[in-house]
Structure 1
Amino acid sequence: MDDRMYCLFWQIIAPASARRVWQLDNHFGSLKAAWEAPEKEIRSLFGTKVDAADALLRARNTFDPVREKEKLNNIGADFITYKDHNYPENLRAIYDPPPALFVMGQITNADQLAVALVGSRKATSYGLSVAEQLSVALVKSGISIVSGMARGIDSAAHKGCLSAYGRTIAVLGSGLNVIYPRENRKLMERIAASGAVISEFPLDSQPEAWHFPMRNRIISGLSRAVVVIEAGEKSGALITADFALEQGRDVMAVPGSIGSPLSRGPHKLIKQGAKLVENAGDILDELGITTLFPVEESTNASVALNRDEETVFGLISVNPVHFDEIVDKSNLPAQKVLASLMFLELKNLVRQLPGRQYALCKFING
């Protein structure tokens, strides 16, 4: 068996324990030597952690490589190891890269230029809009989008990328055959078809709480920068930001309403020195790169509007505005406001949100 198979073996029996695995590699000289090492010698490395040593040795003694590879093949998945040329270079550079990754789809060289968009699972319509539009604008600039396929901001970031036919990578906190949340099955299939869904957890691994902080270090490790969009003061997104700082990545944050609890996380990061993000250009500037493809301008100069449309458009901002409020402030009949909103949507200037609310469609590219 070649070296890469031993990377796979250790990843399966010791998931999310990369530091421990690399310690074994360093002590024995290779992962192959560690795999073949006497039980007594392995136990000595664990010291007083007898239970941990016993669990690892049991897994090693009962491991069936043929069965594990067949399980991956059955769901159309594969694995890449630290020894492979297509192992993500950004991830290879962190302190504790996983010896192997389980993959559906493909990771390519283009994904070296990646940005993570992360945030709350209970995002507001503002946050969802920002995540989607940022994603679209970055994709048009040749950036791959990384996130965790969770509800809220993560899903919006992936969907924005897919809508612009870009590359996106979803990092799971479970095995590839355990879809979480369940309603994201179709989203996962779309991501795998045009990008990649990855995990360091073996098949059948459930989405246990401790998996997600470990997953977050992979999200930041794959990325050149982490952008936080809506997060509470104690949030997984802030854990991702902490990992990013440890890994030498840029940390950025999108500001929000001072009255929203979900603004506390981003505002805390901004106070601590994170780059304030208003548009995709802010992210590109911080990374020190120029756009690979022109980012669509958000100016309205070339878009013809009639008088009613101009009136209605002037009342809509980044923050969602309810239809009734637009009617009240415009002094126009409701039917005219409705017609104007419809044409503004067709002109890709305004988007309708749940609850009869409307917001600017092109805020992010401004």
Structure 2
Amino acid sequence: MQTLPTTENELAAWLRLAMAPGLRPGALRAMLNAFGLPAAVLEQPFALLAATTDEASARAALAPPCAEFARYLDAVLAWRELPGNAIVTLDDPAYPPALLTMPDPPALLYIKGRLELLHAKGVAVVGSRSATPQGVEDAERFARAFSAAGLAVVSGLALGIDGAAHRGALTGRGSTIAVIGTGADLVYPAAHQPLARQIAADGVIVSEWPLGTPARAANFPQRNRLIAGLVGGVLIVEAAMRSGSLITARLANEMGRDVFALPGSIHAPLSRGCHRMLKQGAKLVETPEEILEELGFAAAPAAGSASATRWSGVPPRPTPASASVPAVDEPELAPEAQKLLAALGHAPATLEILAARTDMQDAALQSTLLQLELAGHLTVLPGGRFARASHG
């Protein structure tokens, strides 16, 4: 898919309005609907623009650009010439059609990667930055199944659940869309530089922020609205009670998108946000097939198993990025025991799963499990599974 060729003067007019301080996307869209292209908007008298929107928006639209604008325009033109980079404006056929159903779509988007993915059916997979090992595995597994079925998996390139979702989706034909809260020339967090390069090559990165925009807390709720706008449904994998993922879910619900949540242990802090969403009407799901069915997609055909998207019980060995787990604050435990307890998380796990998460040798793993059981930190369940012991 190609973007419409935009001349330097046309792009300058788009950038001027898109970057005008105080001009909200909804007000700008109203002006464009009334007068056509940005160049025409900029030629209108103040009174006519004010009558179309309001006086503050009219003032913002007609304010002269900042002193650095010419230099920024040159930087954008140079960035656009780099392979894989594009700028897509509201009037461009390449603009994501799902975003046009929003009342306030961005006037322009900075794109790195495969433009055609912006027209694919999508599902968002989002959750905590401080994900548990189980959450990381679930996010990768669901994203793999969605991508295999042809859905583009949308997430925010954050640590934890977002990164796991992107990695899982890159394995399938649906691939992945990363909606970021910085300029498209930056990667945040820095640890995701290799992942971002892979997404730019095999998926697509989307930003509405000017080049050079650093990571700011205020940018991410706005980023979340684009994640919600691009998809037909949002899956919350793990979320604390005050999680940005819940903002994404709320915005998705307001836009008429489906919201799904994975349930978890009542003792797990990162299950509380999911349970809150479930109480508010999100759909409880346990398998990727349930979501695919809700969204009208069939699961990918099996490859040597009953179902390609069913969980086998033995996870792939996690990458170093996905295996990083916050240490468990149990000062009386030996380091190996703390590492194993952190890997156990808040959901039952088998010996094979724990071995994959910790890279511990069998003898050391068995010995450490016994220590934790004798110390009252874990319980052995039927079927050879282990669970964190409940303390009240």
TM-score bracket for this pair, using the shorter chain length: 0.7 to 0.9
| 2:30 is the counterpart of 1:23 | yes
CA distance in 1, matches of 2:150, 2:192: 25
Q: Partner letter of residue 214 of structure 2?
A: Q
Answer yes or no: is the 8 Å Cα contact 1:126–1:320 preserved in 2.
no
* Aligned position for 2:78: 70
Shift of 1:28: 4.3
| 2:210 is the counterpart of 1:202 | yes
Structure 2 SS opposite 1:59: coil
Question: CA 1:16 to 1:252, structure 2 compared with 1: closer, same or farther past 3 Å?
Answer: farther
| 2:272 is the counterpart of 1:264 | yes
Structure 2 SS opposite 1:234: coil
* Aligned position for 1:35: 42
Q: Partner letter of residue 271 of structure 1?
A: K
* Aligned position for 1:309: none
Larger relative contact order (CA 8 Å, sep ≥ 6): 1
* Aligned position for 1:172: 180
Structure 1 SS opposite 2:188: coil
Which range moved further: 56-65 or 263-272?
56-65
Shift of 1:274: 1.0
Question: CA 1:323 to 1:246, structure 2 compared with 1: closer, same or farther past 3 Å?
Answer: same
Match for residue 59 of structure 1 among 52, 60, 65: 65
Shift of 1:53: 4.1
CA deviation string 1:36-66 (max 9, x = no partner): 335687688654x59x946972427763344
* Aligned position for 1:296: 308
Structure 1 SS opposite 2:182: coil
Shift of 1:167: 1.0
Shift of 1:4: 6.4
* Aligned position for 2:347: 319
Match for residue 282 of structure 2 among 245, 269, 274: 274
Answer yes or no: is the 8 Å Cα contact 1:90–1:112 preserved in 2.
no
Q: Partner letter of residue 296 of structure 1?
A: A
| 2:168 is the counterpart of 1:160 | yes
Match for residue 92 of structure 1 among 80, 100, 103: 100
Structure 1 SS opposite 2:110: strand
Answer yes or no: is the 8 Å Cα contact 2:117–2:177 preserved in 1.
no
Match for residue 255 of structure 2 among 234, 247, 254: 247
Identity among equivalent positions (%) equals 36
Question: CA 1:241 to 1:334, structure 2 compared with 1: closer, same or farther past 3 Å?
Answer: closer
Which range moved further: 179-188 or 63-72?
63-72
Which range moved further: 130-139 or 108-117?
108-117
CA distance in 2, matches of 1:216, 1:202: 17
Question: CA 1:210 to 1:178, structure 2 compared with 1: closer, same or farther past 3 Å?
Answer: same
Question: CA 1:177 to 1:320, structure 2 compared with 1: closer, same or farther past 3 Å?
Answer: farther
CA distance in 2, matches of 1:153, 1:113: 21
5 Å-filtered alignment, 1:129-140, equals 129-140=137-148
| 2:163 is the counterpart of 1:151 | no
| 2:262 is the counterpart of 1:284 | no
* Aligned position for 2:88: 80
Structure 1 SS opposite 2:106: coil
Answer yes or no: is the 8 Å Cα contact 2:23–2:61 preserved in 1.
no
Shift of 1:25: 2.4
Match for residue 246 of structure 2 among 229, 238, 257: 238
Answer yes or no: is the 8 Å Cα contact 2:221–2:244 preserved in 1.
yes
Structure 1 SS opposite 2:65: helix
Shift of 1:285: 1.8
Structure 2's unaligned 5+ residue stretches are: 1-5, 313-343, 356-360, 367-383, 387-392
| 2:219 is the counterpart of 1:191 | no
CA distance in 2, matches of 1:180, 1:299: 31
Q: Partner letter of residue 135 of structure 1?
A: A
Match for residue 114 of structure 1 among 117, 122, 131: 122
CA distance in 1, matches of 2:229, 2:148: 22
Question: CA 1:250 to 1:181, structure 2 compared with 1: closer, same or farther past 3 Å?
Answer: same
Question: CA 1:30 to 1:78, structure 2 compared with 1: closer, same or farther past 3 Å?
Answer: closer
Q: Partner letter of residue 152 of structure 2?
A: S
CA distance in 2, matches of 1:248, 1:74: 37
Which range moved further: 13-22 or 173-182?
13-22
Match for residue 230 of structure 2 among 222, 227, 236: 222
Question: CA 1:15 to 1:207, structure 2 compared with 1: closer, same or farther past 3 Å?
Answer: farther
The size of the alignment, in residue pairs, is 320
CA deviation string 1:266-306 (max 9, x = no partner): 11111122111111111012213323645516487xxxxxx
The root-mean-square deviation of aligned C-alpha atoms, in Å, is 3.7
TM-score for both structures, normalised by structure 1? 0.75
Structure 1's unaligned 5+ residue stretches are: 301-315, 328-332, 339-357, 361-366
Shift of 1:32: 2.3
CA deviation string 1:238-283 (max 9, x = no partner): 1101111121111111111111121111111111221111111110
Structure 1 SS opposite 2:115: coil
